[in-house]
Chain A
C-alpha cells in the first residue's frame, strides 16, 4: 500500500473503497468487544464463518466483527444490514436460521428485543428504546467498523477532519474551533480542553508531547475500552489534529494492562495509519510529522493520574508528582505535555468536521456536546449510553436503562467512581453535566454510573470504595496512605457491629483532612463516597452503630439466616445446596439452620423456591429460639 501523499489521493481512495461496497449487500455484524467475548460471541462468530462457507455464501454476503455498541446486557449481539435488524443473545445454534431468514428478507422473531412492559417486539436497532433515546455521535460507528480494518473507518468518512485541519486550517484556527466548541475534558476533570491545549502550545520547551489517557481505572466504567477497541482511528485522528494545533510531533497512548484487546487494536490502527501515510513523516504530504507510541500500564489505578501517568511513561513508578506547575507546561521529561482522555480526543474530529456551532447546539450552557456513560449495576439495560450533556439522570436510568432490575426499589446511583458520590431518588431529575452533580456532593466523573437498589447496604458500599482506594493509594503522602487506612478500619468496625458514636465525627475529620492535605486527587476525593452516603443515608449508619442492624441485610456480622417454620415446606433444596451442611431437615421435617456453622453465604436464600420464600434475613434482633423437633414435623394431607 503506497503512502497517500495528498488529501486528493485520500479522497480518491475513499471513493474507491465506497464504490466497491454495495450498500444493499447483506452484512452480518457480530459484536466482538471484550464483554461480548466474555459471553461467548466468538463461538457465534465462528458459527457464522462456518455456516456461510457451508452455504457457499462467503462471496455474496459480508461478515464483520465489530466494536462494542454498548447494549452489553443483551450480548452476543448480531445486527443484519442493510435493514438494521438487531438480534440479541445470539448463540451458535441460532446462526443457520438467521442466515437463511435474512437471505429471504425475513426476520427471526424469537431473537428480537421485546419490551418488558408492553411485550412488543422491535426489529430495527435504532427503534429499540435503549438506543432510540441516545445520541450516539461518538459511539455510533462502533457497530459498523471492524477495528482491524482502516478501510471501514475511511468508508464511513473517517480521516476527513485531518486533511481539513492540515490543509484548510492553520494550527491557530484549529485551536480556535476547539475553543469555540467549549469542549471540556471527558476524563473526569472537565477542564476546558482549548485552555490546556493553549498552555501546551505556549509553554516554552521542545519537544511537546500529546498523550491519550486510556487508563480508565474507575471500576464500572468502560467507555474508553469500547472506543479504543471499537473505533481506535477516531482517537488517533483526534490526537493527530491536536498535535498539529499544539506543535507536537510525538504522542503516547497509555493503555491499562487490563485492556489487552484495546492495546492490540490501537497498535494495529497505528500500523495501518502509518502504512497509509496518515501517521508518521510528512502526513498526506503536508509536511507535518507525527509519531505515536503505545505504552502499557501494569495494574495501578493511580497511574491514571496525569503526573503519575507521565512518570510511568518515563519508566519510573507511576506515582503522582507533588508539583504545582501544570503538566501542560512541565510534563513528560519536564516538557510541555497535553494529556487528554480517549473520549476527549474522539470528540475532536467531530468538531472539526461539523464545526463548533453544531457541537455547542448540543448540551447545556456550561457543558457542550454528548457524553458516553457506562450504566451498570442493578439496572435492566446495563451498557453504554451516549446522550447530550444535561440529560436528566432519571431518563438515563429509566428510559434507556429500563429501570431497576428485578422490580426492586431504586436506592441510589453512584457517579464518578471512587472519587464521586451517591445520589438518592429525590435528585433523579438532576441533569447530568460537569457542574450540576457537584452541587449534590457527587460528580459526573469519567462517566461511570452504578445503580444500587434496596438490597445494597450503603455503609458496605462506602466501605467498598474506601477498600478499593486503600489498595490503589501509592502510599507516598501521609493523608492518603494513613487517612484512608483508618477510614477503612472505622467503616469495617461499623459493618461488623463494632461501631461507636464517635466514629462519625472521626470519619468527617479524616474526610476534611483528606480533601485539604492530600498530594493528589485520589486522596483529595477519597472521602466523597463516605461523605455522600453519610449525607443521604445517615439512618443506615446509625442503625449499624446503635442498633447493630444492617437494614439492607448485607453485612455478614449483623445478619442471620433463618428458616421461617410456618413457611418451610421441607423440600430439602436449601439443605442440599448449603456449602457447609449447616441445614438440618428432612422430607417432612421443617428445616433449621445451625447458626454456629452458617457462613452467611446466602445460598439458601437464593435457592428457596419463591413460592415458599421461607428463608428470612434477620438483623438487629436475636434469632428466634429453636423449636422442638416434634413440632417440626409437617403433617401432609394425603
Chain B
C-alpha cells in the first residue's frame, strides 16, 4: 500500500493510502474521541465526536475522521477551537440523553462541560448502532435492528431471531457505551421471547 503523509496538529504523520483520517491517527497514537467507531465494523459516522478540522484557513471545514479518506498533504487539526466548541455542545446533548454513562461523563469532564443547560431525556441508548452493526456485519444474525425515525428512533431486538441467536452469543453486550443494552435484552427476553 502506498504511503501518504498528512499534517496533523502541525506534525507530519504517515499512513497508508485507503485509510481514513481516524485510522492514521490511531496508528500514530493521536487521541480522537469516538463512541460509534469499532475497528472491525464499517464506520457509521453518527456520534460526530471524531470531527476534525481539515484544510487551510480560511477554507477549512469539519469532517468526521472515521469516514473521511486520508490523502497525501491533507492538513488536519484534531483540537482546534472549532472542534472543541462543537464537541462541547455534542457532549451536552449526549449527557442529556445518557446522564449516567461513565464514558460520556468522563469526556464531558475532559472538555469542561459542567452546566446542564438541556432538559434530561435520559433514554440512555445513544443510538451508536454498535450492537446492530456488529450483529449484522460480524455475526450475520440480524437479531437486532433500528426502528422508527427522528427522536423516536430506537434499537430493538427482533424477537423471532433473538430468541434463537442471542442467549448463546451476547457478544454485543460489552460493546454498548452506556451499558443499557444488556438490561434492554433482559427486558425483551422476559416479555417477548417465545418460551
Chain A contact residues, CB within 8 Å of chain B: 300, 302, 317, 322-325, 470-479, 481-483, 485-486, 489, 502, 506, 509-510, 512-513, 516-519
A519 touches B127 (CB 8 A): no
Shortest distance in angstroms between A60's beta carbon and chain B's nearest beta carbon?
Answer: 56
Q: Tally the A-B contacts, defined by beta carbons under 8 Å.
A: 97
B150 touches A516 (CB 8 A): no
Query: Closest A-chain residue to B89, C-beta based?
Result: A513
**Assuming the A-B contacts A322-B46, A475-B149, A479-B48, are A506 and B69 also in contact, with contact meaning beta carbons closer than 8 angstroms in the complex?**
no
Point out the residues of chain A lying under 8 angstroms from B51, CB to CB: 516-517
Give 9 A-B pairs besides A476-B46, A506-B117 with Cβ atoms closer than 8 angstroms: A322-B44, A474-B153, A475-B150, A476-B127, A478-B46, A478-B126, A506-B118, A512-B86, A512-B89
A481 touches B153 (CB 8 A): yes
B85 touches A512 (CB 8 A): yes
Shortest distance in angstroms between B121's beta carbon and chain A's nearest beta carbon?
Answer: 8
15 A-B contacts (beta carbon < 8 Å): A322-B44, A324-B63, A324-B69, A470-B150, A472-B149, A474-B149, A476-B46, A476-B127, A477-B47, A479-B48, A481-B127, A483-B89, A513-B89, A519-B48, A519-B64
Point out the residues of chain B lying under 8 angstroms from A516, CB to CB: 51, 62, 82, 86
In Å, the complex CA distance between A405 and B97 comes to 45
Shortest distance in angstroms between B59's beta carbon and chain A's nearest beta carbon?
Answer: 15
In Å, the complex CA distance between A485 and B89 comes to 14
The A-contacting residues of B in range 1-60, CB under 8 angstroms, are 43-48, 51
Tally of chain B residues near chain A (CB < 8 A)? 35
Query: Closest B-chain residue to A485, C-beta based?
Result: B151
**Assuming the A-B contacts A322-B67, A324-B67, A486-B119, are A479 and B93 also in contact, with contact meaning beta carbons closer than 8 angstroms in the complex?**
yes
B130 within 8 A of A: no
B149 touches A478 (CB 8 A): no
Shortest distance in angstroms between B80's beta carbon and chain A's nearest beta carbon?
Answer: 11
Chain B contact residues, CB within 8 Å of chain A: 43-48, 51, 62-64, 67-69, 82, 85-86, 89-90, 93-94, 96-97, 117-119, 121, 126-127, 146, 148-153
8 closest A-B pairs by beta carbon, nearest first, are A322-B45, A475-B153, A513-B89, A482-B93, A473-B150, A475-B150, A477-B46, A517-B48
A489 touches B119 (CB 8 A): yes
Point out the residues of chain B lying under 8 angstroms from A478, CB to CB: 46-48, 90, 93-94, 126-127
A470 touches B151 (CB 8 A): yes
A471 touches B48 (CB 8 A): no
Shortest distance in angstroms between A77's beta carbon and chain B's nearest beta carbon?
Answer: 39
In Å, the complex CA distance between A473 and B94 comes to 17
**Assuming the A-B contacts A486-B118, A517-B62, A519-B48, are A475 and B67 also in contact, with contact meaning beta carbons closer than 8 angstroms in the complex?**
no
Shortest distance in angstroms between B42's beta carbon and chain A's nearest beta carbon?
Answer: 10
